[in-house]
A and B are shown apart, each in its own frame.
Chain A
Amino acid sequence: MAKRLKPVDVVLVGFGWTASIIAQELTEEGVQVLALERGMDRATVPDFATTHIQDELKYAVRGGLFQAPVRETLSFRNTRDQTALPMRNLGSFRPGAGVGGAGVHWNGQTWRFLPDDFVLRSHVEERYGAGFIPEDLTIQDWGVTYEELEPCFDRFEYLCGVSGKAGNLEGARQTEGNPFEGARSRDYPLPPLERSIGSLMFDKAARELGYHPFAAPAANTSRPYKNPLGVQMGQCTYCGFCEWFGCGNYSKASPQSTILPVLLKKDNFSYRTGCDVTRVLLDNTGKKARGVLYRDLQGQEYEQSAQLVILCAFAHHNVHLLLLSGIGTPYDPASGTGVTGRNYAYQITSSVEVFVDELINPYMGAGALGQAIDDFNTDNFDHGPEGFIGGGYIALWTTGGRPILQHHLPKDTPKWGAGWKKAMAENYLKSVSISTHGSVVSHRQAYLDLDPTYKDIYGDPLLRMTFDFHDNDYRMSDFLTGKAEGVAKAMKPRSINVKGRKKPYSIVPYQTTHNTGGAVMGDDPRTSVVNRYLQSWDVPNVFVVGACNFPQNAGYNPTGTVGALAYWAADAIRGMYLKNPGPLVQA
């Protein structure tokens, strides 16, 4: 029997980036906010101290900061005619667990999606005609525009102390920045990070080819920084242990390094760890949430009542909870109807390894230290002759040189033995990798639902993922890979190794943790789970926030847009919902 707990005003499921931002905003209104986190408590000291966090085996290889599949996983298949099998260990993506969520172990690559991304379907139809979009694509507009989100992007960047250079200040082009970006109201809070030798080589080669390279925006502080909440961050030391690790230097933005020092002091905020939320509880009308059901580490079940429930967990987990709780009609791929689980998408990546004569010293780096070009992102180029939708950035990142996972070997290197050893000795210090980071369309056969066979530790069905990239995306990725190969060759290397994305999608090799969709936002309840303010169409006192809201994925890392959406939803709740609880958009 579930123990009933004292009601709170607002309960947040998860305690990563979105929950931290929303908690910080809503507590300003005086309401009682409680966050329930499935993982453990984590703080910069002692958990990320440099004396032990720089451990590639423990954190990057064995996944010390990641979700453990034994507690939560999903089942996977490429197509509906296969039987989905459980993802037994992590591979393709690595969600976080614990306070700070994946915001602890991310790289800090903090992009704004482009204006066209938010109106993708109408933009493509307008420029190329409706017939340009394959029939089975379910891409759609977001219901919110870049211009509306601009102040939210700005707040997230200033919260994090993002290092970068504007390319478009209120419509005026700036030299050095990204000339393709949407208009921004002011420059980044910090100048770009120092450039690595790899950045300079990429910059020179890309410029020779007529492209427009720029320093990628980084939530790694190039200077000491005090954010608008008064939280002090230290200057990044280029230690090369961002991705998969927590930052012990207060330099990589995370909830811990930007918000929690302020939030945790508030009397009207509290959080509990080791709490697995298993249901959003609805009243007997099914139109109102009473609160949530969760279990602690001892297996004790609790009922936490709340006036407002906000799902702030990782994309998969939010969708899983909606499906288990019966919120929104589950998507049916046969008929194309229903919404919950619809429009799952991902990120399509490839790389070109470049073997050079110069000494690179790859271990000096930062998670978002990179030089990029946006010439082939979204609709920054004419898609007419190419016959596909979407694009991505091409970048040379200098994220670090951790030996197990970050070494590059030339084509035809023996897999093991003396030849492997010799190639390791010759190439580790003299190689870089150019990556392509592409958008992914949503389509009818890519979706999330509940698995009919496999159960989690509580006996609930696992989430089931049915996914392969659409042909559109394989062609787009091949196009991007070809452009990256061109830049690589212009670097005049000893040799290159082109690693294109091969069919079909595999859940085994790591690609990105940029899982999107399943609870998408929009203007039409027939094609979205939440309205433009991220409020459930069906249960108005439930909000769902995160990359699960993306109707399809753009060619950028998602965190900048996820942070902006969190501010966007928080503003709507503060400014409208709390004053007059109920649907903010009439269906």
Chain B
Amino acid sequence: MTTANKSPGAAAGNLLSRACAAASPSTWPSGAPDFFSRRRFVQAALALPAVLALPACSNETQRPALARTFFSADEYRFIQAATARLIPGDDKDPGALEAGVPVFIDRQLSGPYGRADRWYMEGPWAAGSDQQGYQLEETPAQLYRKAIAGVDAYCRERHDGKPYAELSPEDQDQVLHDLDENKIELEDFPAQAFFSVLWQNTQEGFLSDPMYGGNRDFAGWKLIGFPGPRYNYVDEITRYGDPYTMPPVGLLGRDGTRMRS
């Protein structure tokens, strides 16, 4: 990760520059002391009005806040918070949030996947057995919309009116576990159906080509050691046990922040 700013700022005064960094993780100070946890930052940033949080940055490497294509502002806060728990990260070790997974999911849901364009979606509808697979009337996009509303309502009821994004990390984790174990009742479908799609899409966003908006700066690929889609390993295939040292590359090249519109 490149380091654009090596001077650690004071906690309070640094908020906006940190927010700026959130928009462009490649500028996060890699040597900064960990006095300001990513978790607290996320909560603080989420609490700010959206218009203030990101466009206020003046860093030269900043990029404009990406327009959402599917989620509402509230839904997006849920996705940011939930994916940040599913694959946690910080400034030195990016997780789902730093890698742009919410951007990825937002774009996927407004596209052919979100609309289930390739799926057979004719009735009649029946629950079926586990072996018969997905039998919900909801497309993935509809599943998210309904589930997020349901989970936020569930959280508000139990946590003094707070939606999921404002819960403590521990409480957020517990909600995710409860979703996965079907302990939360959603109106139209089992909670686990939503959890499994959310977790699948989170992994996809973390590990797919950066041109889709996630895996920003190859964060996911760097974590595991995948050098990206490369054309030729004729020489390397028999260099048994040797590390492969070329830096990651994506389908749009070495710049892991480029997205395809």
Q: Which residues of A contact B (CB under 8 A)?
A: 50-52, 54-57, 61-63, 68-70, 73, 76-78, 82-89, 91, 194-197, 200, 235, 237-241, 249, 358-359, 361, 363-365, 401, 403-404, 407, 415-418, 420-421, 424-425, 428-429, 453-455, 504-508
Partner of A238, one of B85, B117, B233: B233
Determine the distance from Cα of A322 to Cα of B231 in the docked complex, in whole angstroms. 43
Category for how many chain B residues contact A: 35 or more
Q: Contacts A54-B251, A506-B131 given: A364-B88 contact, CB under 8 Å?
A: no
Contact B130 A194 (CB under 8 A): no
Contact A364 B236 (CB under 8 A): yes
Contact B132 A77 (CB under 8 A): yes
Using Cβ atoms and an 8 Å threshold, which residues of chain B touch A415? Answer: 180, 199
| Minimum C-beta distance from B119 to chain A (A) | 5
Contact B130 A506 (CB under 8 A): yes
Residue of B nearest to A248 (CB): B231
The 29 listed contacts between A and B (C-beta, < 8 Å) are: A52-B251, A57-B204, A57-B208, A57-B212, A69-B119, A76-B131, A84-B132, A85-B135, A88-B119, A88-B135, A89-B134, A194-B238, A196-B237, A200-B240, A238-B234, A239-B233, A359-B241, A359-B242, A363-B226, A363-B230, A364-B233, A364-B244, A407-B224, A416-B85, A416-B87, A416-B199, A416-B202, A421-B89, A425-B223
Contact A453 B236 (CB under 8 A): no
Contact B86 A416 (CB under 8 A): yes
State whether the Cβ of B10 lies closer than 8 Å to any Cβ in chain A: no
Q: Contacts A194-B237, A403-B220, A421-B87 given: A505-B131 contact, CB under 8 Å?
A: yes
Using Cβ atoms and an 8 Å threshold, which residues of chain A touch B86? Answer: 416-417
Contact A404 B204 (CB under 8 A): yes
Q: Which residues of B contact A (CB under 8 A)?
A: 85-89, 95, 112-113, 116-122, 124, 126, 128-135, 173, 176, 180, 199, 202-204, 207-209, 212, 220-221, 223-227, 229-234, 236-238, 240-244, 251
Contact A404 B208 (CB under 8 A): yes
Using Cβ atoms and an 8 Å threshold, which residues of chain B touch A235? Answer: 234
Residue of A nearest to B240 (CB): A197
Determine the distance from Cα of A61 to Cα of B214 in the docked complex, in whole angstroms. 15
| Minimum C-beta distance from A367 to chain B (A) | 14
Contact B117 A70 (CB under 8 A): yes
Contact A195 B135 (CB under 8 A): no
| Minimum C-beta distance from B216 to chain A (A) | 15
Number of A-B contacts (CB under 8 A): 167
Contact B221 A70 (CB under 8 A): no
Using Cβ atoms and an 8 Å threshold, which residues of chain A touch B117? Answer: 68, 70
Determine the distance from Cα of A506 to Cα of B128 in the docked complex, in whole angstroms. 12
Determine the distance from Cα of A505 to Cα of B173 in the docked complex, in whole angstroms. 33
Q: Contacts A57-B208, A420-B87, A454-B122 given: A507-B133 contact, CB under 8 Å?
A: yes
Partner of B224, one of A56, A403, A455: A403
Using Cβ atoms and an 8 Å threshold, which residues of chain B touch A52? Answer: 251
Contact A453 B220 (CB under 8 A): no
Contact B126 A85 (CB under 8 A): yes
| Minimum C-beta distance from A74 to chain B (A) | 9
| Minimum C-beta distance from B260 to chain A (A) | 10
Residue of A nearest to B132 (CB): A85
Q: Contacts A54-B251, A415-B180 given: A428-B225 contact, CB under 8 Å?
A: yes
Using Cβ atoms and an 8 Å threshold, which residues of chain A touch B119? Answer: 69-70, 88-89
Determine the distance from Cα of A87 to Cα of B240 in the docked complex, in whole angstroms. 43
Contact B230 A359 (CB under 8 A): no
Using Cβ atoms and an 8 Å threshold, which residues of chain A touch B133? Answer: 76, 85, 87-89, 91, 506-508
Give me 6 other A-B pairs in contact (C-beta within 8 A), A235-B234, A454-B122 excluded. Answer: A55-B229, A55-B251, A85-B135, A88-B121, A88-B134, A358-B241
| Minimum C-beta distance from B90 to chain A (A) | 11
Residue of A nearest to B198 (CB): A416
Determine the distance from Cα of A239 to Cα of B131 in the docked complex, in whole angstroms. 34
Contact B173 A68 (CB under 8 A): no
Residue of A nearest to B234 (CB): A237
Using Cβ atoms and an 8 Å threshold, which residues of chain A touch B116? Answer: 89
Using Cβ atoms and an 8 Å threshold, which residues of chain B touch A73? Answer: 120
Contact A70 B120 (CB under 8 A): yes
Contact A78 B131 (CB under 8 A): yes
Contact A239 B229 (CB under 8 A): yes
Residue of B nearest to A398 (CB): B237
| Minimum C-beta distance from A517 to chain B (A) | 20
Contact A238 B118 (CB under 8 A): no
Determine the distance from Cα of A194 to Cα of B240 in the docked complex, in whole angstroms. 11
Using Cβ atoms and an 8 Å threshold, which residues of chain A touch B236? Answer: 238, 361, 364
Contact B224 A359 (CB under 8 A): no
Determine the distance from Cα of A239 to Cα of B228 in the docked complex, in whole angstroms. 10
Using Cβ atoms and an 8 Å threshold, which residues of chain A touch B238? Answer: 194-195
Contact B122 A56 (CB under 8 A): no
Contact A62 B224 (CB under 8 A): no
Residue of A nearest to B134 (CB): A88
Determine the distance from Cα of A191 to Cα of B143 in the docked complex, in whole angstroms. 51
Contact A76 B229 (CB under 8 A): no
Contact A241 B229 (CB under 8 A): yes
Contact A61 B234 (CB under 8 A): no
Query: What are the 5 closest A-B residue pairs judged by CB atoms, nearest first?
Result: A54-B229, A428-B224, A57-B208, A403-B207, A364-B233
Determine the distance from Cα of A523 to Cα of B135 in the docked complex, in whole angstroms. 42
Determine the distance from Cα of A453 to Cα of B123 in the docked complex, in whole angstroms. 9
Residue of B nearest to A237 (CB): B232
Determine the distance from Cα of A358 to Cα of B124 in the docked complex, in whole angstroms. 52
| Minimum C-beta distance from A348 to chain B (A) | 15
Contact A83 B87 (CB under 8 A): no
Residue of B nearest to A404 (CB): B207
| Minimum C-beta distance from A531 to chain B (A) | 35
Determine the distance from Cα of A239 to Cα of B235 in the docked complex, in whole angstroms. 11
Using Cβ atoms and an 8 Å threshold, which residues of chain A touch B244? Answer: 361, 364
Contact B208 A56 (CB under 8 A): yes
Of A70, A200, A364, A508, most buried by chain B (CB within 10 Å of CB) is A364
Determine the distance from Cα of A358 to Cα of B243 in the docked complex, in whole angstroms. 10
Determine the distance from Cα of A361 to Cα of B231 in the docked complex, in whole angstroms. 15
Contact B128 A62 (CB under 8 A): no
Contact A69 B120 (CB under 8 A): yes
Using Cβ atoms and an 8 Å threshold, which residues of chain B touch A418? Answer: 88
Partner of A417, one of B85, B112, B126, B251: B85
Using Cβ atoms and an 8 Å threshold, which residues of chain B touch A91? Answer: 133
Determine the distance from Cα of A61 to Cα of B206 in the docked complex, in whole angstroms. 14
Residue of B nearest to A507 (CB): B133
| Minimum C-beta distance from A72 to chain B (A) | 9
Determine the distance from Cα of A455 to Cα of B120 in the docked complex, in whole angstroms. 10
Using Cβ atoms and an 8 Å threshold, which residues of chain B touch A429? Answer: 224-225
Residue of B nearest to A362 (CB): B226
Contact B122 A86 (CB under 8 A): yes
Of A421, A425, A428, most buried by chain B (CB within 10 Å of CB) is A421
Determine the distance from Cα of A182 to Cα of B212 in the docked complex, in whole angstroms. 48
| Minimum C-beta distance from B129 to chain A (A) | 7
Determine the distance from Cα of A249 to Cα of B231 in the docked complex, in whole angstroms. 9
Determine the distance from Cα of A289 to Cα of B211 in the docked complex, in whole angstroms. 51
Residue of B nearest to A74 (CB): B120
Determine the distance from Cα of A549 to Cα of B225 in the docked complex, in whole angstroms. 44
